[in-house]
Amino acid sequence: MEVIERVSIIRGRMEALRCSGKRIGFVPTMGALHEGHLQLLRASVQENDVTVCSIFVNPTQFNNPEDYKMYPRTMEQDAELLRSVGCDILFAPHAEEIYVQQSLLQFSFGPLEAVMEGEHRPGHFNGVATIVGKLFHYVQPHRAYFGQKDLQQVAIVKQLVQGLSYDVEVVRYPTIREADGLAMSSRNKRLDAEQRQTATILYSALQLARQQLPEKPTYSIKAAVEAYLTGAYGVALEYFEIADPNTLQPLAQVRPGQEVALCIAAHVGPVRLIDNILVNLNEV
């Protein structure tokens, strides 16, 4: 596996690969890799001639400096995992390579960024769009792979691709979970043993909402989820939404046969976790 740190080198390398007719798959990450990332990488290796993974903890998408400081960084272990799944190139730039000067770009995604993550993390999606736009420019992928756990982020990236006419297909893969249902996340590494056990309540809350979908109005389901989590020690609910899976706008009511997204964010101890499930009401 080739490891590249310089923007000038990755750009030249990718231009040469494109000119030679190679299909390029790309998995952008912030490191601390887990099985969810590896699923994306395996898919890319299978579907493309060359697979690139980036590891960059992007400072502009953290609205909490302490969260950025505490984000797990495990580069050596990550490199070994990438080799094990057949990744061809690891792009691991330093911040001064990506942000030569302070970025003044301001993206607006309209209603899509006014809810959930966008509402609770001001500036987050501007940072996401900035770094993804830069990485797409450097890597020039044909396909880019993302996990469903970051459902709103995937929607933002799709809108970015459409708005800026990037020649890249955005591919979304289902969330990978631990045996007890906890969505795999790099942030899970920050949970102690007790918090790790407590964190499973997020998935339980989503399952509770799923069970009630055919029978109760959305306001009642939201109240039930909030009540369910209120008594949980060490858990602070930030939001729970029943939303349209494409626009991610809250739904006042759901119809038979409709697909809905159940989305949740909560703090377990000091660690902020998100999760979601997609539900087709024909299958409930």
Tell me: is residue 147 an annotated ligand-binding position.
yes
Tell me: is residue 148 an annotated ligand-binding position.
yes
Tell me: is residue 33 an annotated ligand-binding position.
yes
Tell me: is residue 231 an annotated ligand-binding position.
no
Of 37, 94, 124, 137, catalytic = 37
Give the H/E segment covering residue 201. Answer: helix 201-212
Tell me: is residue 165 an annotated ligand-binding position.
no
Tell me: is residue 47 an annotated ligand-binding position.
no
Tell me: is residue 184 an annotated ligand-binding position.
yes
Residue that is written with structure tokens 């979970």 in the block:
177
Residue that is written with structure tokens 């899509």 in the block:
112
Quick check: helix, strand or coil at residue 21? Answer: coil
Quick check: helix, strand or coil at residue 1? Answer: coil
Tell me: is residue 25 an annotated ligand-binding position.
no
Record the tokens describing residue 34, joined without a space: 């887990």
Tell me: is residue 37 an annotated ligand-binding position.
yes
204-212: which pairs have CB atoms within 8 A and are 24 or more residues apart? 204/228, 205/229, 205/240, 205/264, 206/262, 206/264, 206/275, 206/276, 206/277, 207/181, 207/277, 209/240, 209/242, 209/262, 210/262, 210/277, 210/279, 210/284
Catalytic status, residue 37: yes
Tell me: is residue 153 an annotated ligand-binding position.
yes
Residue that is written with structure tokens 């933002």 in the block:
156
Which residues are marked as active site?
A: 37
Feature table: binding site for (R)-pantoate: 61, 153
Feature table: binding site for ATP: 30-37, 147-150, 176, 184-187
Feature table: binding site: 30-37, 61, 147-150, 153, 176, 184-187
Feature table: binding site for beta-alanine: 61
